[in-house]
Amino acid sequence: MEGTDLARIRPFLATLGRTPTPADVAEAMRAEHLLVSDAALMAAVEALRRESLGAGALDPLLHTPGVTDVLVNGPDQVWVDRGAGLEPAGITFESEAEVRRLATRLAAAVGRRLDDGVPYVDGRLADGTRLHAVLAPIAAPGTCVSLRVPSRHRLSLADWVANGALPERGAILLRMLVAARRAFLISGGTGTGKTTLLATLLGLVPPHERLLIVEDSRELQPDHPHCVRLEARHPNAEGAGGITLTDLVRQALRMRPDRLVLGEVRGAELRDLLIAMNTGHEGGCGTVHANSADDVPARLEALGALGGLDRAAVHAQAAAALDVVVHLQRDRAAHGQGRRRVATIATVQRRRDLVEVVPAVEFDAAGGARPGPGLADLERLLTR
Ligand SMILES: Nc1ncnc2c1ncn2[C@@H]1O[C@H](COP(=O)(O)OP(=O)(O)OP(=O)(O)O)[C@@H](O)[C@H]1O
Ligand SMILES: [Mg+2]
């Protein structure tokens, strides 16, 4: 059914104050002098059902195999990433009001409020899809909705190799990294596959180890029999009741973790993670946003500052706590079709008072491997 036709019958249906039955929809269509054929009625009922349950017009996109992201920038721009970078999705919304309705409904579905008082939201939908939305006029050209589809099946390391995202040699090193219980961070830009790779690696942790996973919103689904998951909580509308990642890292440490996992390090909790790793908690790991492996120390400095650590303290703590950085990259769409891949495995070394991330192996887009100055250090770390 055309969006404009839906817009015509919606006011009638809204007056009912209940979920419309197909008979109600037919009556509304008749009232608007629309043709009520079986097909038209079915299309209208289906469109309304999608609107009230799922992600409305976005549902078919979200269920297309290979789609990882759906981005809405107001009514006229809908973008989709099917694994080859962003491309126009070929659909539009009838109005800004329709996008806004979708955004508020999705927010309600994740139990959050979204209105002019609190114009942005993030959370996870029941099927695991990650939601972020910001209302216009804070966002232009209109209300923005960003949806990240979780991978439908867990990727094994063999899948990464089969996808061309990781050369076999890299897979061997990552296996050794987990087996040696070294502390590592997975770095990369937005949507490069950090969380996915972390879940893959956690699946390699021996089953007798107890994983404590601390996350902002529940994303990691590792294939592992002993996971305890702690999820942060946003404060309520009055600003009370929030539970931060820092709170949760502290709780996790009292829960006898064999591995402490911080889904994404993005704030003051870095301090607690580093302290934990420096006080006998081995095998800690997490992801961090950084555009290159070299940028990781600067990123840690910025996050450490949020936790009240000065520059020298961050470097000293990070040098002692962290062993390895695995960096992910997404090639530009023109070369390699926006493919996500492991680009660098690096070791964290101390140079005078500063920590440096020194490449041990660099992989190119063709799957070739080039040794870097950190290789000897990596071999030492992995074979103990
Ligand atoms: N190796 C891969 N092969 C195929 N798809 C992948 C691969 N790695 C990640 N993806 C897909 O890419 C999308 C983004 O992955 P993921 O959420 O792990 O990225 P991220 O770097 O953690 O993103 P963010 O910066 O938003 O935290 C997901 O839909 C995921 O299923
Ligand atoms: Mg992530």
Q: Is the pLDDT of residue 118 over 80?
A: yes
**Distance (Å, whole) CA 81 – CA 70:** 7
Q: Is the pLDDT of residue 17 over 70?
A: no
At 4, the pLDDT band (50, 70, 90 cuts) reads low
Same domain? 85 vs 186: no
Task: Identify which of 86, 146, 149, 151 to mutate to test ligand 1's pocket (most ligand atoms within 8 A of the CB).
Answer: 151
Same domain? 109 vs 234: no
263 CA to centre of ligand 2 in angstroms: 7
**Distance (Å, whole) CA 277 – CA 202:** 17
Same domain? 43 vs 111: no
**Distance (Å, whole) CA 5 – CA 25:** 12
| CATH number, position 84 | 3.30.450.370
Same domain? 41 vs 101: no
Same domain? 121 vs 239: no
Please give the tally of structural domains in the chain.
Answer: 3
Q: What is the length of the chain?
A: 384
| pLDDT greater at residue 258 or residue 113 | 258
Q: Is the pLDDT of residue 13 over 90?
A: no
Task: Identify which of 64, 68, 216, 341 to mutate to test ligand 1's pocket (most ligand atoms within 8 A of the CB).
Answer: 68
Task: Identify which of 131, 196, 288 to mutate to test ligand 1's pocket (most ligand atoms within 8 A of the CB).
Answer: 196
Same domain? 211 vs 255: yes
Q: Which of 150, 171, 206 is the last residue of a domain?
A: 150
Q: What's residue 293's pLDDT?
A: 94
| pLDDT greater at residue 60 or residue 358 | 358
Same domain? 297 vs 244: yes
**Distance (Å, whole) CA 70 – CA 90:** 12
Q: Which of 95, 116, 150 is the last residue of a domain?
A: 150
193 CA to centre of ligand 2 in angstroms: 7
Which residue shows structure tokens 């709170």? 247
Q: Is the pLDDT of residue 368 over 80?
A: yes
Specify the amino acid at residue 344.
T
As given in the structure block, the two tokens for residue 330 are: 């997404």
Residues with CB under 6 A from ligand 1: 68, 148-149, 151, 155, 160, 163, 165, 188, 190-196, 264, 287, 289, 340
Same domain? 114 vs 26: no
CA distances from 134 to 53, 101, 104, 142, 384 (A): 20, 12, 10, 9, 49
Atom of ligand 1 nearest to the CA of 190: 25
At 129, the pLDDT band (50, 70, 90 cuts) reads confident
Q: What's residue 336's pLDDT?
A: 47
pLDDT in tens, 163-173: 999 999 999 99
pTM: 0.81
192 CA to centre of ligand 1 in angstroms: 5
128 CA to centre of ligand 2 in angstroms: 13
Is residue 160 within 8 A of residue 295, CB to CB? The reply is: no
| CATH number, position 285 | 3.40.50.300
pLDDT in tens, 311-342: 999 999 999 999 999 999 998 765 445 789 99
Atom of ligand 1 nearest to the CA of 188: 21
**Distance (Å, whole) CA 100 – CA 134:** 9
Same domain? 251 vs 165: yes
**Atom 23 in ligand 1: residue holding the nearest Cα:** 191
Residue 189 CA: which ligand is closest?
1
Same domain? 265 vs 161: yes
**Distance (Å, whole) CA 343 – CA 165:** 9
Range of the domain at 117: 54-150
230 CA to centre of ligand 1 in angstroms: 21
Give, as one character, the DSSP assignment of residue 155.
Answer: P
As given in the structure block, the two tokens for residue 128 are: 């695991």
86, β-bridge pairs: 81
304 CA to centre of ligand 1 in angstroms: 26
178 CA to centre of ligand 1 in angstroms: 20
Task: Identify which of 156, 195, 197, 331 to mutate to test ligand 1's pocket (most ligand atoms within 8 A of the CB).
Answer: 195
Same domain? 328 vs 379: yes
69 CA to centre of ligand 1 in angstroms: 9
Atom of ligand 1 nearest to the CA of 196: 18
Is residue 70 within 8 A of residue 149, CB to CB? The reply is: yes
pLDDT in tens, 213-235: 999 888 898 999 999 999 998 88
196 CA to centre of ligand 1 in angstroms: 5
Same domain? 201 vs 289: yes
**Atom 29 in ligand 1: residue holding the nearest Cα:** 68
Residue 197 CA: which ligand is closest?
1
At 355, the pLDDT band (50, 70, 90 cuts) reads very high
Q: Which of 30, 52, 74 is the last residue of a domain?
A: 52
As given in the structure block, the two tokens for residue 322 are: 């962290």
